[in-house]
Amino acid sequence: MDKVHHLPARSSPRLATSNDRPLPDASINHRARELQATVDHLTAATHCMLATDMHGCESALDDASAALEGALFHALTLAGARNADKALRDLLLQRINARQGGDHAG
């Protein structure tokens, strides 16, 4: 039997739309949240990288790597849950869960 992977819960479902009609409000809100989360993680990574460069602090480099992984996860989510990205998303979830000290992926 295949293993079931539980992704982090989102407050609104991803809605499928065609290109000839406007996106529903829930879909726009979801896209805006994922885009903002991606930008927030990239900003945090940039600050951590600057701290690493200025102070030579290895923990800042670890924080930057974690933020970049978070940005990539949200960018993949923004692009949709494509099968081609599943292995990478699973790896990112494993790393996020390991850092948080839990196993939220099942």
- What pLDDT digit, counting tens, does each position of 2-36 carry? 676 665 655 554 545 455 555 566 667 888 888 89
pLDDT score, position 59: 78
pLDDT score, position 7: 58
Which contacts (CB < 8 Å, 24+ apart) does range 69-77 have?
A: 69/95, 69/96, 70/37, 70/41, 70/44, 70/96, 71/38, 71/41, 71/42, 71/45, 74/34, 74/35, 74/37, 74/38, 74/41, 75/34, 75/38, 77/34
pLDDT score, position 94: 92
Q: What is the largest CA-CA distance in the chain?
A: 51
The pLDDT-based confidence of 106 (bands split at 50, 70, 90) is: very low
User: Quick count: other Cβ atoms within 10 Å of Cβ 70?
Assistant: 21
pLDDT score, position 34: 86
Segment 39-98, tens digit of pLDDT: 999 998 888 888 776 776 777 888 888 999 989 998 988 888 788 999 999 999 899 889
Reported pTM: 0.60
pLDDT score, position 105: 47
